[in-house]
Amino acid sequence: MPAGLVALAAGGFGIGLTEFVIAGLLPAVAADFRVDEATAGWLISGYALSVAVGAILLTAAVTRLDRKRVLLGLMTLFIVGNTLSAVAGSYETMLLGRVVAALCHGAFFGIGSVVAASLVAPARRSAAIAVMFTGLTAANVLGVPLGTLLGQQLGWRSTFWAITAIGVLAFVAIATLVPRGAGQGEGSASLRHEVAAFRESQVWLSLLVTVLGFGGMFGAFTYIAFLLTDVSGFASATVPWLLILFGGGLFVGNTLGGRAADRSVSRTLVGTLAALALVMAGFALVASSPWPAVIALVLMGGFGFATVPPLQTRVLSWAGEAQTLASGANIAAFNLGNAIGAWLGGLTIAAGLGYTSPLWVGAAMAAAALLVTLGADRLAARR
């Protein structure tokens, strides 16, 4: 495995930790800033929206630049944002720190996907992308539970100081291990050439599948701490250990999804999306029973992240030689879906439908993603 993939995974670990650890800390942050659950949820959905914006605008702005230097600049932005979150004296400052950190997220994974794919043979592209996204899954297996535990023991600010330190280490790893010029040969540096990828209808259909499929899973995950304590009956101190199990599901799902997508992107997407919709619906039905809820939690993570490598590979495949902006757009789609899922979940909770309602929203979104995938594949087959 190229050492550059390890460096990209390190960056992904820090970014994934920033995105996901807030879910376990959300009750403490809400209490500290004296805001309700829906308002606190904007620390997640606002982050996701900022990722979507950064993925498009920042990626478009840096298409002519050396990709290694761009990745280093993005990690610098990440460090600044998390430092701001750590010192925040108000909810508004905390939200600003989240936004600043989020701006680097989409462009990092968008450009990083192209760089990762360039480091291996074409037949191993999905697996290489999965290695980079392993940073996200490792963040959930180890980082999120330990970060939540750290926040519970020393205060949630300590978690963001730890994330800042991880950002510095990732910066050093990228500077040392990623080859200069990696990924520069993938397509043209012309912004006009990159935009041309969006003339392909399959690119837009792929983005829609990403919004619906991954957004459904993340929307359900946003309020998972409230569900596990208030519905399943687990103690708050148990949540970090349950998140370790969830992260294990993410790791296995991401790895197997990457391998399966190298054989067939279409079959992998159809199978994982169908399973994800069924699992989330089942989770809502068994959430009040502790052990079935734990099993459903692990399966939700597994099938949810098994969609990531095929979703990213599908966009790259249909973008042809103009992959950089299309890749960034798909990262934006991931996080637009996250924001929509979190927003819809917050609405259902505010409407008094309970903490299981985001699971029903997620199941419906995953089912819709499955239908779009089937329609897109049929259209591609006719062509």
User: For 290-332, how does the pLDDT look when each residue is reduced to its tens digit (9 = 90+)?
Assistant: 999 999 999 998 998 888 888 888 887 787 666 677 777 887 7
Backbone φ/ψ region at 190: left (φ over 0), alpha (ψ -120 to 50), beta: beta
Most confident of 72-81, 199-208, 338-347: 72-81
Question: CA 150, CA 17: separation in Å to the nearest integer?
Answer: 13
Q: What is the crossing angle of helices 156-177 and 3-33, to 10°? A: 160
Mean pLDDT of the 34-41 span = 78
Q: Find the mean pLDDT for residues 56-61.
A: 76
Q: What pLDDT, on the 0 to 100 scale, is given for residue 187?
A: 45
User: 66 burial class (0-12, 13-18, 19+ CB within 10 angstroms)?
Assistant: middle
Catalogue the E-assigned strands of the chain. Answer: none
**Does position 148 have pLDDT exceeding 50, yes or no?**
yes
10 to each of 6, 16, 50, 170, how far by Cα in Å?
6, 10, 21, 5
The CA distance from 171 to 79, in Å, is 9
Fold of 3-382: Growth Hormone; Chain: A; (1.20.1250)
Q: What is the pLDDT of residues 117-132, one digit of tens each?
A: 777 676 676 777 777 7
The structure's pTM equals 0.73
Burial of 268-302, coded b for 16+ CB within 10 Å and e otherwise, reads bbbbbbbbbbebbbbbbebbeeeeebbbbbbbbbb
Predicted local distance difference test score (pLDDT) of residue 16: 85
Query: What are the residue boundaries of the structural domains of the chain, listed by start?
Result: 3-382
Mean model confidence pLDDT for the chain? 84
Q: What's the pLDDT at 1?
A: 67
